[in-house]
Amino acid sequence: MSDLKQTSRRISKAKPKPSVPAKAVGKAVRSRMPKPVDRATMVEIFRRWHAADPEPKGELDYTNPYTLLVAVTLSAQATDVGVNKATRGLFAVADTPQRMLELGEEGLRQHIKTLNFFNTKAKNVIAMARRLVEEFNGEVPNSVEILETLPGVGRKTASVVVNIAFRDPRVAVDTHIFRVTNRLPLAITKTPLDTQVALEKLIPDEYRLHAHHWLILHGRYICKARKPECWRCQVNDLCRYPDKTIP
């Protein structure tokens, strides 16, 4: 028998190594994850953020609830700086749904053509303006559920608008907030919606109105995705994230 055949026979007779079930792997990973902070620790986290910045503000420029809605809608897949540059001239000529319809889709495109997906965004903003005029007398409704039915508006955008414009203590979840929530962790979640539900249930009432801004600013400037700047984090002693970058 040739060496090749003998080798093939030995391989075929060898017992396969037992594989680790996927569920077992999942359990092993979850067992290494830190448990969410307790309520007292969560209160202290938000107390420190409040002490450092009692009235946090978003970084999008707007003049009224409608321009806020438009700015947040345009901010998808774009930076706040880029949106502010585009809307500076736009809001000077179209700061109401009626004036946006007068500007028209082509006129709107000229103002926002520096933004990603500007063609789709222009269609959505014009369609949104039309619905606001026809169904809501040109006013932005104070309702997440209604806002979500408008073209180009999802749960995050709707939650941001009612939070800022109407002081409804919603916690809009983006990638920064999702990351910070699961790193501290305030909660262990799998989706943005899961995160929003958990945070709105867990965050103490006195801090919930501004929680969205504290979390997003913390994630954007300190608890960064690739390399969190833990050495200047206000809550690093309370954070249970295992891969801190403190020297």
Q: Is it true that the peptide bond before 65 is cis, omega within 30 degrees of 0?
A: no
38 noted as active-site residue: no
At 181 the three-state DSSP class reads helix
CATH architecture assignment, domain 37-57+170-232: Orthogonal Bundle (1.10)
> At a CB cut-off of 8 Å and minimum separation 6, what does 151 contact?
123, 124, 125, 127, 128, 131
C-beta separation of 33 from 23 below 8 A: no
174 noted as active-site residue: yes
Digitized pLDDT (tens) for each residue of the chain, 247 residues in all: 444 344 344 434 444 444 434 343 344 334 567 899 999 999 999 999 999 999 999 999 999 999 999 999 999 999 999 999 999 999 999 999 999 999 999 999 999 999 999 999 999 999 999 999 999 999 999 999 999 999 999 999 999 999 999 999 999 999 999 999 999 999 999 999 999 999 999 999 999 999 999 999 999 999 999 999 999 999 999 999 999 987 7
Q: How far is CA 196 from CA 5, 189, 191, 226, in A?
A: 61, 9, 9, 23
Residue 223 labeled ligand binder:
yes
C-beta separation of 108 from 122 below 8 A: yes
Residue 124 labeled ligand binder:
no
Q: Which of 174, 224, 243, 244 is catalytic?
A: 174
Contacts 24+ apart (CB under 8 A), 220-224: 220/176, 223/176, 223/179, 223/180, 223/183
Q: Which of 80, 156, 205, 243 is catalytic?
A: 156
User: Which residue intervals of the chain bear CATH 1.10.340.30?
Assistant: 65-166
Residue 233 labeled ligand binder:
yes
CATH superfamily membership of 65-166: Hypothetical protein; domain 2 (1.10.340.30)
What's the confidence (pLDDT) of residue 32? 62
Residue 29 labeled ligand binder:
no
Whole-prediction pTM value?
0.82
State whether the Cα torsion 42-187-241-210 is positive or negative.
negative
| DSSP-derived secondary structure letter, 232 | G
User: Which residue intervals of the chain bear CATH 1.10.1670.10?
Assistant: 37-57+170-232
